[in-house]
Amino acid sequence: MDVDVVIVVDVLMIVMPVVAYAQQLRTLVAVNVNTSFNPWLCCILIFSSVLRAFFWIGKRFEVPLLLQALVMLAFQLVLLKVCVDRRRPLSKHEHAVTMSQCCTKVWWMRFWDWVSPFGVVVVAARCGLLIRVWRW
């Protein structure tokens, strides 16, 4: 195969999964309140990207697949940031989840009521490290 074709295919393989979510990001930015997008999708994709990156450390696979995971991780964090910033307002009886409450028994019921999306990154990294250490 021609080298130029391989490069184009690799770039498309890295970028195309993110393009599918670009329209959703544009809609969220334009509407200013998130009523239609479920942030659990971001959670699933963030966790899978973190796990792929940790798996690459132990067993190398093709670099474009690693770059795809890292680009998807960055884009999903941006999408999650927009979702958190534009989430529905909390009622006076609800409270935002803090970092210290992320390990309580019912954390998953209010997982997306974070003050900032940084907590999701911390939880994903902890799970990835735990799985990575467990495999050694």
The secondary structure of 41-54 as a DSSP string is HHHHHHHHHHHHHH
Task: Give the model confidence (pLDDT) of 38-70 as tens digits.
Answer: 777 888 888 889 888 888 888 888 999 999 999
| 44, two tokens | 């699933």
Residues 6+ apart with CB under 8 A from 20: none
Greatest Cα pair distance, the chain, in angstroms, is 62
Q: How many domains does one find in the chain?
A: 1
Q: Which domain holds residue 127?
A: 3-135
User: What pairs with residue 97 in β-bridges?
Assistant: 114
Task: Give the model confidence (pLDDT) of 6-50 as tens digits.
Answer: 999 999 999 998 988 888 888 888 887 776 777 778 888 888 898
